[in-house]
């Protein structure tokens, strides 16, 4: 079983049914205060915490007086716009007394499907975490349409966990784990303590029922588990409505852990190395040696740029002798790379006419 005490970076997913009272549409303030205490507990242990939170539409409904039924797209987006302000303020108010800063990050499916936007999201989240901020991530429901939305925050939470390299993802749910059948209708249903491999049989056991204010079901949770565990992130499903649910999980509350299949960094390196390169960067001897020591690739170490590629595209890295060293996701286009190659990072703004990132390829986006 995965131990929460061993975690270094944790993503916690909070559904709208936990945050918002189904009958009144009001925020469950006391529960949120307890969650903040759990976040403080993790932070005091040196754990990075990222919250993926639903609730903007549910909160916006109450403000706008909209019914708790399926809404037309434009009304749903309007409710999200109103609710996002309340949601961000609510998290700030409960975490600030603990000395914890928060930042709102709104994403759509395109932010993970497009490599350039994926790298930008990854860099933003990494910077926030580096500043000691707890990111509050939600889908950007004000602009997302059916074509560019995740559709549920379980899968979005898994994608965020992969993006930030989390080693554990906790889905706070209205059920206390994964069962062999729906326990509400089948008295013989058995809860799994751990799932080491998501087989077709496990997938077939997943139901698809959601609560009144949320869209997630067990099927989406299993899909989230497949994404997370394949990327080296263990995932837990546990009852979230109790006070201080993370403390309850640590103290032995019922749950199901889906075990990670590999280390997050190893999984990411494999993913990058399997990509088809869109171009080639030729390096000088100093840069080639620096990469072998785990350093980022700076423009000064690039001697030649071959091919046409965009930001976020995979490129092959070669030694002065032409030997392949590895693959990396570039932060600059081929044309930009040609302009800044051989120059110091502090010259980038003068050369391009706008500020850029110091590294042409960051070490986290490289497989050597």
The pLDDT value given to residue 358: 94
Distant-in-sequence, close-in-space partners of 291: CB < 8 Å, separation ≥ 6: 283, 297, 317, 325, 326, 366, 368
| 210 has pLDDT over 70 | no
| Band (209; pLDDT cuts 50, 70, 90) | very low
Segment 70-90 mean pLDDT: 90
| 251 has pLDDT over 70 | yes
Q: Please calculate the CA angle 28-32-38 and round it to the nearest 5 degrees.
A: 155
Domain presence at residue 320: yes
Which domain covers residue 361, as residue numbers? 275-367
Domain-terminating residue out of 263, 290, 318: 263
- Known binding residue 345? Answer is no
SS3 116: helix
Is the model more confident about 249 or about 210?
249
The pLDDT value given to residue 140: 81
- Phi, psi at 367, each rounded to 5°: -125, 110
Domain presence at residue 69: yes
- Known binding residue 254? Answer is no
Nearest residue to 217 (alpha-carbon basis) of 167, 159, 171, 160 = 171
121-161 pLDDT, tens digit each: 888 999 999 999 999 999 886 665 554 455 578 888 999 99
Mean pLDDT lowest among 57-61, 139-143, 176-180, 249-253 = 139-143
Across the chain, where does the E strand assignment appear? 9-14, 48-53, 101-107, 133-139, 168-173, 178-179, 191-192, 194-195, 234-239, 255-258, 279-283, 302-307, 314-318, 324-329, 366-367
Q: pLDDT exceeding 90 applies to what percent of the chain?
A: 61
**Structure-token pair, residue 352:** 């391009």
Domain presence at residue 78: yes
**Residues 188 and 312 reside in one and the same domain:** no
The enclosing domain of 151 has a CATH number of 3.40.1160.10
**Residues 130 and 16 reside in one and the same domain:** yes
**Residues 185 and 226 reside in one and the same domain:** yes
Q: pLDDT exceeding 70 applies to what percent of the chain?
A: 92
Domain presence at residue 270: no
**Residues 57 and 183 reside in one and the same domain:** yes
| 60 has pLDDT over 70 | yes
- Known binding residue 173? Answer is yes
Domain-terminating residue out of 263, 297, 317: 263
**Residues 251 and 280 reside in one and the same domain:** no
325-349 pLDDT, tens digit each: 999 999 999 999 999 999 999 999 9
| 208 has pLDDT over 80 | no
**Residues 229 and 354 reside in one and the same domain:** no
**Residues 210 and 239 reside in one and the same domain:** yes
The enclosing domain of 305 has a CATH number of 2.30.130.10
Domain presence at residue 333: yes
The pLDDT value given to residue 9: 96
**Residues 282 and 258 reside in one and the same domain:** no
Q: How far apart are CA 325 and CA 321, in angstroms?
A: 11
**Residues 208 and 80 reside in one and the same domain:** yes
Question: CA gyration radius for the chain?
Answer: 22
Domain presence at residue 268: no
User: Hey, how many other C-beta atoms are within 10 angstroms of the C-beta on 113?
Assistant: 11
**Residues 244 and 224 reside in one and the same domain:** yes
- Known binding residue 141? Answer is yes
Nearest residue to 217 (alpha-carbon basis) of 231, 229, 203, 227 = 203
Domain presence at residue 351: yes
* Tally of domains within the chain: 2
Is the model more confident about 117 or about 212?
117
Nearest residue to 169 (alpha-carbon basis) of 144, 137, 206 = 137
Q: How far apart are CA 63 and CA 249, in angstroms?
A: 33
pTM of the model: 0.79
- Phi, psi at 354, each rounded to 5°: -155, 155
| 312 has pLDDT over 50 | yes
**Residues 230 and 357 reside in one and the same domain:** no
């Amino acid at each position: 079983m995965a131990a929460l005490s061993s975690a270094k970076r944790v993503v916690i997913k909070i559904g709208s049914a936990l945050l918002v009272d189904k009958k009144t549409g009001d925020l469950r303030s006391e529960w949120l205060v307890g969650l903040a205490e759990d976040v403080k507990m993790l932070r005091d242990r040196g754990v990075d915490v990222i919250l993926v939170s639903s609730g903007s539409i549910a909160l916006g409904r109450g403000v706008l007086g909209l019914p708790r039924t399926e809404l037309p797209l434009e009304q749903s987006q309007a409710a999200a716009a109103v609710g996002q302000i309340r949601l961000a303020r609510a998290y700030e108010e409960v975490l600030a007394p603990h000395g914890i800063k928060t930042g709102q990050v709104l994403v759509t499916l395109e932010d993970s499907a497009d490599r350039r936007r994926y790298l930008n999201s990854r860099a933003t989240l990494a910077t926030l975490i580096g500043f000691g901020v707890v990111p509050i991530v939600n889908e950007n429901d004000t602009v997302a349409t059916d074509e560019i939305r995740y559709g549920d925050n379980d899968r979005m939470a898994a994608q965020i966990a992969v993006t930030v390299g989390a080693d554990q993802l906790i889905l706070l749910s209205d059920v206390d784990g994964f069962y062999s059948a729906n326990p509400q209708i089948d008295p013989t249903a058995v809860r799994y303590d751990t799932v080491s491999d998501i087989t077709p049989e496990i997938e077939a056991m997943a139901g698809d029922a959601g609560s009144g204010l949320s869209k997630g079901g067990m099927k989406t949770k299993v899909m989230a588990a497949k994404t997370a565990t394949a990327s080296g992130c263990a995932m837990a499903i546990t009852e979230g409505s109790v006070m201080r649910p993370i403390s309850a999980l640590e103290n032995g509350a019922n749950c199901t852990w889906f075990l990670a299949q590999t280390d997050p960094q190893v999984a990411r390196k494999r993913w990058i190395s399997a990509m088809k390169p869109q171009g080639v960067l030729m390096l000088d001897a100093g840069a080639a040696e620096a990469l072998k020591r785990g350093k980022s690739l700076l423009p000064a170490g690039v001697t030649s740029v071959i091919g046409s590629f965009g930001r976020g595209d995979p490129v092959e890295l070669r030694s002065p002798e032409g030997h392949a060293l590895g693959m990396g996701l570039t932060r600059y286009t081929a044309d930009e790379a040609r302009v800044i190659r051989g120059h110091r990072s502090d010259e980038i703004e003068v050369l391009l006419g706008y500020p850029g990132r110091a590294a042409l390829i960051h070490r986290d986006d490289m497989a050597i």
